[in-house]
Chains A and B, each alone.
Chain A
Amino acid sequence: MALLEVAGISKSFDETAVLHDVSFTAGRGEIVCLLGPSGCGKTTLLRIVAGLEEADEGEVRFEGRDLAGVPVHQRGFGFMFQEYALFPHRNVFDNVAFGLRMAGMARAEIETRVGEMLALVGLAGYETRRVHELSGGQQQRVALARSLAPGPALLMLDEPLGSLDRALREELMTELRRILNTLGLTAIYVTHDQQEAFAIADRVLVMNAGRIEQAGTPVAVYSRPATPFVARFLGMHNLIEGRMLAAGEPGVVETAVGTLHCERCAPAGSPEALVTVLLRPDAAHPLSLHGDTELENIVTGTLRDLSFRGSQVRIEVETGTGIMLRFELPARQAAALPGKGKPVALSIDPAGVDVLTAPDSQN
């Protein structure tokens, strides 16, 4: 049995629905990540689990017990807020000790525990500092120590790295994962950053407009985006309409940029079915135009843009049918590319062609 079961949650604010019939579970020791753009309802979902918000419908069960009517302060969960919400009138020690005092722990025990927690997050010796004297990264650590101190049965983190700069975020991401794994905590982690989600989560739930679009391990979600939304959210923009010519693995699909073979067309079902075809950004290799043009899986067009990104080169190719495709090539292949505005031919790896059954709502 899952530790946490969230079933059929719906919620509206002022007539605007923000969650539609959302269900998910989290097993003991599992880190589940709610990933989605801002406004997709992920924070609201988290607040409902914490008891900070009441759902209109559905239930939250913890260890099999329905939490309806259990007030926030009696749930025994931890919650790390975006921008931390540290108590500005208390120093570091008092912030971390707050939950322990609420639990009625003895003074001596509190001191030991706070010491342990600060050591865990690498802030030993910071007890008497005022909160506003700390840097963003240090505040983040204090907030983590504060939410961990009472030993919560479930930890919720709402964009815990959201207000830090990129470099610090990388560093703390690794450390956060180390701490969560060390403690074997069950955690729900909300973020809009896919890299953060992939780095930390055991399982990712991609949310869109109040619904869970796809759930799975980071590898599964990244390698098989289930819907055009998920693909786009993960940075894959080459989505074109297609019609199945032959279903199966491999299969053949007809698109506006040409007829393409795909390795994984299984879910596409019957021939003639209308589908959305995803060309993964790393699927293309430049071809010499004077070479063998009888090869299969070739897309031709005009090179519109080329930008150098270190180990990669990003190119934009406009096909004869007016579709703009974006690819990333290893930098060493750039030599084979013609100049901007010149015709270009790309061979597409069948393993990089995905077929999504869901229609693309954005086109």
Chain B
Amino acid sequence: MTFDRRLARLGRGALYSLPLLFLALFYFYPLGSILWASFAPGGRLDLSGLAEMLSRAYLGRVFWFTVWQAVASTGLTLLLGMPAAYVFARYEFPGKRILRALTTIPFVMPTVVIGVAFTSLLGPRGVVNAWLMGGLGLEQPPVDLLYTIWIILLAHAFYNAAVVVRIVGGFWSSLDPRLTEAAAVLGASRWRRLREVTLPLLLPSVVAASLLVFLFCFTSFGVILILGGPRFATLEVEIYRQTVNFFNLPLAASLSLLQLLFTFVVMAVYTRVQARASMPLNLQGAARTARRPATGWEWLAVGGVNSLLAIVLLAPLVALAVRSVTLGDGPPSLRYYAALTENRTQDVFFVPPLEAIRNSLLFALVAVVLALSLGLIAAYMLAAPGRGQKSGQSRAARWLDPVFLLPLGTSAVTLAFGYIIALDEPPLNLRRSPLLIPLAYTLIALPFVVRSILPALRSLNPRLRESAAVMGASPGRVVCEIDLPIIGRALLVAAVFAFTIALGEFGATLLLYQPDFPTMSVIIYRALGQPGLLNYGQALAMSTLLMLICGASLLLIERFRIGDVGEF
């Protein structure tokens, strides 16, 4: 091997180690610190935090609630998502593209926005109550779902129905319809075809979707905090309260550990199921499997299911926008938007909400740059064929692939809590640095970025590079002329994903933000926590702005996504 080539390999090795180093510093180190803090706070083995966790009946109830609300939410989500998945997979109808685009909304909408949106729809000052009170001449709001389990379950279903529609629907649409036809010819009735052919084939995808939904609901934070109020706490919320309200770090560490263990087990099962779901099925292009509804009943079913889905996805957002200009007495106006610029409290520490918008955008941009650079390197590393192999993943890549997925299964609050206890002393003291937040965002966005770029990179036919090289392109030119144009769209989608994730991040932000650098979600949450119509109105206005920014990003994604890039 020549010196040049050895140097090149060394350089590539150094480059490849960057994302791993990042994971080590900002993922494994903080989580390790939690482990340390829960078993040996102060350097000696001390299980008091663990003992406290196990002995307090209240915490048992928190755990129980966390589990059962996640199960119930998953059930409700399946109930809403499965019919839609079926209709999407098997029928072709006008407006399908738009509806499909709508199902992306929950992926990009911040939890704070959705939380506030649901209060504006179903809360005491929400649209539904305003109509009912106006229409029936009532004094009191007749429907008050705020701070009940129902509004939590509904919000979770809003968030996750799209997961079911995308995962199960995507799989369903690629199932060869001739399989059920073959069963029919062999004498199977409609019900037996469903039971003996369709459901068994769909099962892995249903289980995978359910596990993912369960995981999201299990670690739910913003929805519970905003819509559940003080009565409800998941583990995630409890970790936050123990840290911020009671400063009981050992207990918070033990709770984080419990949650980590639980989510890792679920993640492990999920990866196993996903691997099993990739049974060779002779999958079909979706266009071949969908057809127009033929009978009136089919049109009715398709229409009904789609209307329900559209209502669930759109109603909260529309209510939010409407309420932000109609709240209170008087004609619709932009007064709550105007109020965002005023310092009503004459507080010297007051940060005008507009500055929060600037902070949010700035943090998000830093996170996008970091996540994209690291994610691109990681994706190249994972897509590179092993030494001596023509194609396929190298052994190291197979092992590293799930490692880059880990942050997806780790709760943001736990992670932020890890930052608080790990990154507060030299040599890495970032506790007071405004950089801490974009670093957390980068880590949370990294799995999405890698997952968006990787399929595009893998689809790059090595022949293309080879033929460019044969025609005289240098390695650098090959990247510019072949790689970048092809994965360019995937990069853009990844960037937008990272941007919206960073913009809407709530759990980690709430733990890590500096008072002089609040973000939009912090401002919204603070405004919600204060009494008075004006504060609520400001929360609505700010949420609407955040929704619009994310909505614009969504349009970008839908315009540029190729196939199912960025799906899990």
Contact = CB atoms under 8 A, between A and B. Distances in A.
Given A14-B292, A79-B182, A81-B182, A89 B187 contact: no
A77 B181 CA distance: 12
B178 A89 contact: no
A330 B232 CA distance: 91
Contacts of A89: 200-201, 279
B454 to A, nearest CB: 25
A85 B186 contact: no
B185 A78 contact: yes
Given A14-B292, A99-B186, A150-B186, A81 B282 contact: no
Contacts of A102: 183, 186-188, 192
Nearest to A14: B292
A170 to B, nearest CB: 24
A248 to B, nearest CB: 52
Contacts of A76: 187
A87 B197 contact: yes
Nearest to A83: B282
A72 B279 contact: no
Interface in B460-496: none
Chain B interface size band reads 20 to 34
A88 interface: yes
Contact of A72 (B185, B201, B281): B185
B279 A132 contact: yes
A72 B183 CA distance: 10
A146 interface: yes
Interface string B164-182: 0000000000001011011
A107 B409 CA distance: 46
B466 to A, nearest CB: 28
Interface residues of A, number: 29
A52 B179 CA distance: 12
Contact of A88 (B184, B188, B196, B279): B279
Contacts of B183: 73, 87, 98, 102
Given A132-B279, A132-B280, A85 B188 contact: no
B307 interface: no
A79 B200 contact: no
Given A14-B292, A132-B279, A132-B280, A85 B187 contact: no
Contact of A85 (B182, B189, B192, B294): B182
A320 B279 CA distance: 62
Interface in B482-538: none
A99 B197 CA distance: 13
Given A81-B181, A89-B201, A98 B186 contact: yes
Nearest to A74: B187
Nearest to B181: A52
A74 B280 CA distance: 30
A9 B188 CA distance: 26
A89 B294 CA distance: 30
The residue in A72, A81, A82, A83 that gathers the most chain B C-beta atoms within 10 A of its C-beta is A72
Interface in A65-107: 71-79, 81-83, 85-89, 98-99, 102-103
Interface string B249-290: 000000000000000000000000000000111100000000
A50 interface: yes
Contacts of B200: 89
Interface string A185-219: 00000000000000000000000000000000000
A79 B184 CA distance: 10
B189 A73 contact: yes
A50 B185 CA distance: 7
Contact of B185 (A77, A87, A88, A132): A77
A327 to B, nearest CB: 41
Nearest to A75: B185
Contacts of B189: 71, 73
A82 B179 CA distance: 11
B282 A52 contact: no
A98 B181 CA distance: 13
B193 to A, nearest CB: 8
A73 B192 CA distance: 10
A142 to B, nearest CB: 12
Contacts of B192: 102
A76 B188 CA distance: 11
11 contacts: A73-B183, A75-B185, A77-B185, A79-B185, A82-B178, A83-B176, A85-B179, A88-B179, A98-B186, A99-B186, A146-B182
Interface of A: 14, 50, 52, 54, 71-79, 81-83, 85-89, 98-99, 102-103, 132, 146-147, 150
Interface of B: 176, 178-179, 181-189, 192, 196-197, 200-201, 279-282, 292, 294
- Name the 6 nearest CB pairs between A and B, nearest first: A99-B186, A102-B187, A85-B178, A79-B185, A72-B184, A85-B182
